[in-house]
Each structure stands twice: as structure tokens, then as C-alpha cells.
Amino acid sequence: MFWSDWAITLTLFTPLIGAIAIALIPSKSEESAKPVALVVSIIGFALSLGILAGYDFGASGLQYEVNIPWIDAVGARYHIGIDGISLPLFVLSYLLTFLCSVYAYHHIESPGKPKAFLALMLLLQTGMAGTFIAFDLILFFIFWELVLVPMYFMIGVWGGPRREYAAVKFFLYTLFGSVFMLVAFLALRFTGNTFDIVELAELGQSGAFSETFQRLAFLGIFLGFAIKVPMWPFHTWLPDAHTEAPTVGSVLLAGILLKMGTYGFVRIAIPILPEGAIDFAPIIGVLSVIAIIYGALCCLAQTDLKRLIAFSSVGHMGFVMLGIATLTPVGINAAIFGMIAHGVITGMLFFVVGSMKERYHTRDIAEIGGGVLQTMPKMAAVFTFVSIASLGLPGLAGFPGEFGALLSAFQPAAALEAGGLLTLYRVLMVLAAFGTVLTAGYFLYMLQRINMGSAPKRWLEAGLADISVIEWGTWLPLLAMTLLLGVLPFLVWGITTPDVNEIMSFFSG
């Protein structure tokens, strides 16, 4: 009974306990922070796998639920649990943190300081995981805000030449969105008399909130989540943050933090404010397609390899948001799959680009000069495989989510069709499909400039080391998932479908 009731809490706070333990390590023993972080991340990942193994995949609704009083003065409760929507993202957060701990064993950027870096990484993990399992709006907001501080310092201390600018920009953008989101949460509390997400969803779908209230509340929540995704035109913080962040920071930012925004739409905005969602869905769809095409065109213009990968996230998250904008079970399932696939693939791309930067001491594509197949053939092969997965090749993880988003746009929710929006959505589908062509174009152009051709003489003479044992240990799980999820997408959809069908039942009529 203890494991059933408190497994989530134990798993959630394991990284926080590890962060505190690392903070207490004497400064003269900083290197001992590495094995501690690795052990803690292994324990956390193992616990998350235990939750996965004990999950009832045929049922919908919350499992491993804990709902007890917390802050009685404001009516907030410690309400956590997990369902098919949050489970894949929850486990992915622990997997990526574990892999980042392995990678960081020998790859921490200047100024080093592994004690501070790894403590921040584990604190960040607590915030990310908590966001996916919190079912009280105050608890959700606390975990949501918790990720800002460690990511701010990871970018600002261990980042690139413009790290201070990128860190401040990241912090201010996301904090700005959070203000509007908090106001909307308070409005929901005063109108619905509860912070509980499950209860608010029941109220919202029973018609307890007026249409005007839903539109205004959805607008506030939209701003908070859209900035985190980030949706166009709120995206400008992302390329700077990714480009300047250390490798581990970029992996966690792309792999998990961006998904907090899209998850928020699926978990909070749409179920609680369904009428507001219907009004905003076409706007979200249009902005999503703009992001797909804009992101691809920006990628074609990049000269910095890491910045190119950063801009690719704008387009990929556009496909996720397009699926959400259809308000259909197919679209939501495609969006969740796209979140997982993007976390795996783009996280892997940032790992590879970080390792290339260590060898070449530059990310400038012209400075690298091509010929990576000559200097580091294994690295080039991995880079090619993951890039092809990211462009959406069938049989790899990038394809099912994007195809599902396009398919759902062809037949959006009945409520949207009744509003005369079918033609708009089909136009969006065609434009998004064109975006897939542009995506293939910039990835293939990138591979041509990086991998192909003859390597400059200075790189041939430098004796660049190919993939190390630590790097193989970090990357192989992600490479295997990239293939496995492409061939067997039901590994995700089999988990998500029961709960997606339940929360989207309002829009099926």
C-alpha cells in the first residue's frame, strides 16, 4: 500500500534530496559530486521505471494518486498522480536526467564547478517532473516556476560568450508569461472555488464557466504556455538560450522544458476551458503553421550548427501545437507522441553537436568545413541517423507525430467544423505539409555542409577523437528509442489513448 500511495512522491523528491546532498559536499571534494549525481539519477530513473511497470495501461484516470491538505488558508492541496498523458513525459524526464549525469561525468563546460552544476541539474529535474504530475494549480505553478532558477544559472554561468544576455532573456520571457498564467489560475479559483485541476475540468465541461470568462482565462493561460513552448511570435528567447546553454542545459531544455508548455495546454487549458479552446484553436493552428515554415526558413539561413538545431525546435513544436489545435483525440495523441519524439531526437542532436564543439572548438559550419565522415566517421553516422529522424523519415520516431498532426488537421473536431473552419484547417494541413519539405531541405543541406566533402587539412592532421565510451553509453538509449518509437508507435499511443479519449470527449459531439 505504501508503494502504491507514495511511489510518486518518493520518485519526485529523490533528485531534490540528491541536490541537497551534493550541496553539502565540501568544496575541496567537488569531484565527488559526479558519482553522487550519477547514483541519484540512476535511483530516480529506476523508480520511474517501477511506476511504469506498475501502471495499469488499460485504465483511464489518475493512478498512484495522493491528495491531502497542504495550504488550508488558500485551499491548495498536495494533489499529485499520474495518467497516460503524463506518464511518458514523466519517465522521459528521468531518462534524460540520467543520461545527462552520465555525459556530465567527463563533459562539463567552463568554469567546471561540478558540485554547483550537478546540484542545479537535479533541482531542475524536480521541477520538470513535478509539473507533469501536479493536479493542483498552486502546486503546478510552484513546480513550473522552480525550473527557472536552475536553468537561468546553467545558462548564465556555464553558457557561451553571450550567456548573460541569453539567461536574462530566458528568465524575463518565461516570467512574463507566468504572471498572466497566475492571474488566470486565481480567476479559476475564485470562480470555481477550487485549485484542483480534476474538479475544475469537471466544472468547465459541465458549463459552470461563462463563455466570456473562458475566453479571458484561456488568453491568460495561453500566454504562459505559448511562451514556454515557444510558439511564434514568442519564440525569440529560444535560439539564444539554446545557443548559449551548456550541452546538458540544451538537452534538458529541448527534451523536457519545452514540453511543459504543450503539456499545459493538454492538461489544463483545453479540459478546463473547452469553449475558450474552441475560440482560440484556429488562432493556435495559424500560429503553429507560421512557426513550422518560419522555423525551417530560419534554419536554412543559419551558420552556427547549434543555433540551426535550436531553430528546428520552433518548427517541430509547431507540429505539436497544430495537433493540439485540432481538438481531436488523433491530434492530441499525435501531439504527445511529437513531444516524446522531439525530446529524444533533438536531445540527441544537442548531445552530438556538443561533442563536435569539444573536438572542433567551434560550431561555425564554414569553419568546420565538412568532411566529418573522414575525421570522425562514427560521429558522422550518428549525426546523419538522428538528423534523418528529425526530418520525419517514416520508420523513425520523427514521423508518427508529424503525420498524425497533418491527419488530424484534415478532420478537426466537430465543434470547429460547425464553426465553418474545415477549409481553414485543410489549408493549414497543406502548408504544414510544405513545411515538412522545407524541414527535409535544411537538414539535408546541413548534412551536406557538415558530413560530406573533404575535411580541411588542419582537421585531418588534428587527429580528432571519434565517439568515446561515455558518449556511446549516453547516446545508445536515445538511438534505440529513435528507431523503436518509429517502428512501434503504439508504445506511446497505447499508454496515452484511454486518457486522451476521456479528456477530449467534450469535443466529439
319 closest CA partner among 411, 415, 428:
428
Owner of C-alpha cell 478546463: 272
Q: Which residues, 6 or more positions from 411, have their beta carbon under 8 angstroms from its beta carbon?
A: 326, 328, 330, 417
Q: Tell me the C-alpha distance between 288 and 493, whole Å.
A: 22
Give the model's pLDDT for residue 348.
95
Give the model's pLDDT for residue 75.
86
> Rounded to an integer, what is the distance from CA 50 to the centroid of its chain?
22
pLDDT band at residue 412 under the 50/70/90 scheme: very high
Between 393 and 110, the higher pLDDT residue:
393
Tens digits of per-residue pLDDT, 41-94? 999 999 999 999 999 888 888 999 899 999 888 889 999 999 999 999 999 999
Q: Tell me the C-alpha distance between 89 and 78, whole Å.
A: 20
The C-alpha cell at 55 is 501502471
311 closest CA partner among 327, 329, 294:
294
Percent of the chain with pLDDT over 90: 74
Q: Tell me the C-alpha distance between 201 and 225, whole Å.
A: 18
DSSP state of 364: B
Q: Amino acid identity, residue 206? A: S
Tens digits of per-residue pLDDT, 219-270? 999 999 999 888 988 888 988 998 899 999 999 999 999 899 999 999 999 9
Tens digits of per-residue pLDDT, 97-123? 999 999 998 888 888 789 999 999 999
How confident is the prediction for the chain on average, in pLDDT? 91
Give the model's pLDDT for residue 197.
94
Q: Which residues, 6 or more positions from 410, have their beta carbon under 8 angstroms from its beta carbon?
A: 425, 426, 429
DSSP state string for 427-462: HHHHHHHHHHHHHHHHHHHHHHHHTSSPPPHHHHHH
pLDDT band at residue 462 under the 50/70/90 scheme: confident
How many CB atoms within 10 Å of residue 30? 17
> Could you tell me where the DSSP H helices lie in 206-273?
211-228, 237-244, 247-252, 258-264, 270-272
Is 79 in contact with 67 (CB distance < 8 Å)? yes
Q: Amino acid identity, residue 91? A: V
Give the model's pLDDT for residue 393.
92
The C-alpha cell at 341 is 519524439
> Rounded to an integer, what is the distance from CA 406 to the centroid of its chain?
20
Mean pLDDT of 119-147: 95
Q: Tell me the C-alpha distance between 23 and 2, whole Å.
A: 29
How many CB atoms within 10 Å of residue 404? 26
Q: Tell me the C-alpha distance between 198 and 202, whole Å.
A: 6
Mean pLDDT of 140-148: 93
Q: Tell me the C-alpha distance between 155 and 387, whole Å.
A: 25
Is 442 in contact with 299 (CB distance < 8 Å)? yes
Mean pLDDT of 483-507: 91
Q: What angle do CA 252, 254, 258 make, to 5 degrees?
A: 105
What are the C-alpha distances in Å from 45 to residues 64, 95, 97, 147, 480? 17, 6, 8, 19, 17
Tens digits of per-residue pLDDT, 325-362? 999 999 999 999 999 999 999 999 999 999 999 999 99
| From 103-112, 168-177, 279-288, 380-389, the region with the lowest mean pLDDT | 103-112
For residue 70, the SS3 value is strand
Tens digits of per-residue pLDDT, 226-237? 998 889 888 889
Name the helix (H) or strand (E) containing 66: strand 63-71
Say yes or no to pLDDT of 2 above 70.
Answer: no
Tens digits of per-residue pLDDT, 415-448? 888 767 899 999 999 999 999 999 999 999 999 9
What are the C-alpha distances in Å from 388 to residues 305, 342, 354? 16, 13, 18
Please give the model's pTM, rounded to 2 decimal places. 0.94
The C-alpha cell at 326 is 485540432
353 closest CA partner among 471, 260, 271, 437:
471
Return the axis-axis angle of helices 398-410 and 469-487, rounded to nearest 10°.
30
Name the helix (H) or strand (E) containing 355: helix 329-360
Say yes or no to pLDDT of 204 above 70.
Answer: yes
90 closest CA partner among 151, 57, 135, 45:
45
Strand pairing of 63-71 and 76-82? antiparallel
Mean pLDDT of 162-179: 90
354 closest CA partner among 296, 315, 306:
306
Q: What totals of helices (H) and strands (E) does the chain contain, helices first?
A: 25, 2
Say yes or no to pLDDT of 505 above 90.
Answer: no
Mean pLDDT of 364-379: 92
pLDDT band at residue 509 under the 50/70/90 scheme: low
Give the model's pLDDT for residue 1.
44
Q: What angle do CA 203, 207, 213 make, to 5 degrees?
A: 90
